[in-house]
């Protein structure tokens, strides 16, 4: 759909974020800045959705009241049952984070994989045939990307049974001391350290991080988590979740609008929203 066609719509087109809770999200700031920059009559809103209201909110997309949505915790798997089609990449991950309405049909996509991969590749870290660790059992998109890039993956989680579904190499977080010292990448997929619990870290304070590891914390608030501080104190490189958030959002933006998103505008809006908090 061309930009001019989008701009000539009779009424504002609405998309939003389905999750519970969602009040912490900065997605509206970056999407609405992008819509404004391209003069698109669209808006992005928060859609706080308890599980027992999920079907009703998806129904608002089906009716056309909403033109699409992002989906976040805890609904990325549950929402799949309400959709007409699942994109093969989302099917492979087993989770949907973007819903697109096309010709009355609801299609589920996963742009988390695109966002994480793009952000990871920008770091330049070499992970092919290298040991990499994921903290948490909810990182299916990250496991998918690391596997695609040829990494050797070990998961550390509180729920080993759940983690074992993603990788045969799964251990308790309390066993982090046994991590391969040659590990090149550690990805935190847990919510530990998310604001307001900024003094918490998923990594034990008394265990050194591997000396060659890049630490990628998917959290975006605070911008420098306790885990990142632990890594930096050991002289390690760190990355937060801002790039992934913007890139996955940009991919969703293009799926909804058909228009190339202004990524720099989205990143600037995210930075400003975080600074104003």
Condensed to tens digits (0 to 9), the pLDDT of residues 51-94 reads: 999 999 999 999 999 999 999 989 999 999 999 999 999 999 99
- Residue 196 burial (CB count, 10 A): 9
Q: What is the tally of helices (H) and strands (E) in the chain?
A: 10, 12
- Please say if the pLDDT value at position 97 is more than 50: yes
Distances (CA, A) of 106 to 27, 81, 109, 226, 256: 21, 11, 10, 39, 12
User: Is there a catalytic annotation at residue 254?
Assistant: no
pLDDT on residue 3: 41
Q: How confident is the model at residue 168 (pLDDT cuts 50, 70, 90)?
A: confident
What SS3 state is found at 169? coil
Euclidean distance between CA atoms 119 and 124, whole angstroms: 10
CATH 3.40.50.720, the chain: domain bounds? 114-240
- Please say if the pLDDT value at position 106 is more than 50: yes
111-129 mean pLDDT: 97
Phi, psi of 9, deg, nearest 5: -60, 145
Task: Work out the mean pLDDT of the chain and round it to a whole number.
Answer: 93
* DSSP structural state of residue 208: P
pLDDT on residue 56: 98
Residue 48: strand pairing partners: 19
Residue 51, class by beta-carbon neighbours within 10 Å (0-12 exposed, 13-18 middle, 19+ buried)?
exposed
Report helix angle 263-276 to 242-257, nearest 10: 130
226-237 mean pLDDT: 98
pLDDT on residue 10: 55
Selecting among 76, 117, 162, 212, the annotated active-site residue is: 76
Query: What CATH number labels 3-110+243-276?
Result: 3.40.50.10860
Euclidean distance between CA atoms 86 and 76, whole angstroms: 12
Least confident span in 16-20, 156-160, 209-213, 232-236: 156-160
Strand bridging mode 68-71 / 98-102: antiparallel
Distances (CA, A) of 269 to 27, 38, 217: 9, 14, 20
- Please say if the pLDDT value at position 9 is more than 60: no
- Please say if the pLDDT value at position 1 is more than 50: no
CATH 3.40.50.10860, the chain: domain bounds? 3-110+243-276
168-197 mean pLDDT: 91
What SS3 state is found at 16? strand
CATH homologous superfamily for the domain 114-240: NAD(P)-binding Rossmann-like Domain (3.40.50.720)
pLDDT on residue 216: 98
Question: In terms of Cα–Cα distance, which of 59, 110, 114 is closest to 88?
Answer: 110
pLDDT on residue 140: 84
What SS3 state is found at 86? strand
Phi, psi of 232, deg, nearest 5: -65, -35
Q: Which residue has the tokens 């992008």?
A: 34
Token pair recorded at residue 50:
């308890």
Least confident span in 47-56, 62-71, 110-119, 160-169: 160-169
- Please say if the pLDDT value at position 157 is more than 50: yes
- Please say if the pLDDT value at position 202 is more than 90: yes
Phi, psi of 101, deg, nearest 5: -100, 115
pLDDT on residue 5: 40
Q: How confident is the model at residue 173 (pLDDT cuts 50, 70, 90)?
A: confident
């Amino acid at each position: 759909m061309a930009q001019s066609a989008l701009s000539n719509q009779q009424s504002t087109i609405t998309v939003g974020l389905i999750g519970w809770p969602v009040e912490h999200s900065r997605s509206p700031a970056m999407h609405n800045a992008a819509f404004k920059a391209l003069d698109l009559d669209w808006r992005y809103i928060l859609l706080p959705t308890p599980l027992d209201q999920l079907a009703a909110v998806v129904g608002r997309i089906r009716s056309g009241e909403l033109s699409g949505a992002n989906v976040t915790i805890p609904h990325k798997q549950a929402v799949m049952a309400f959709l007409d089609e699942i994109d093969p990449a989302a099917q492979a991950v087993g989770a949907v984070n973007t819903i697109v309405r096309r010709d009355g049909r609801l299609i589920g996509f996963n742009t988390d994989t695109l966002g994480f991969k793009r952000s990871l590749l920008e770091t330049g870290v070499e992970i092919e045939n290298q040991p990499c660790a994921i903290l948490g059992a909810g990182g299916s998109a990250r496991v998918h990307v690391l596997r695609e890039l040829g990494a050797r993956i070990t998961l550390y989680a509180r729920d080993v049974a759940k983690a074992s579904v993603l990788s045969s190499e799964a251990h308790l977080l309390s066993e982090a001391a046994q991590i391969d010292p040659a590990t090149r990448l550690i990805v935190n997929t847990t919510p530990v350290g998310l604001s307001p619990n900024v003094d918490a870290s998923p990594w034990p304070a008394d265990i050194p991080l591997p000396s060659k590891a890049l630490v990628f914390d998917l959290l975006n608030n605070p911008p420098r988590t306790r885990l990142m501080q632990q890594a930096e104190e050991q002289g390690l490189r760190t990355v937060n979740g801002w790039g992934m958030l913007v890139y996955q959002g940009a991919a969703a933006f293009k799926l909804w609008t058909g228009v190339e998103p202004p990524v720099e505008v989205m990143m600037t809006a995210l930075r400003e929203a975080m600074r104003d908090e």
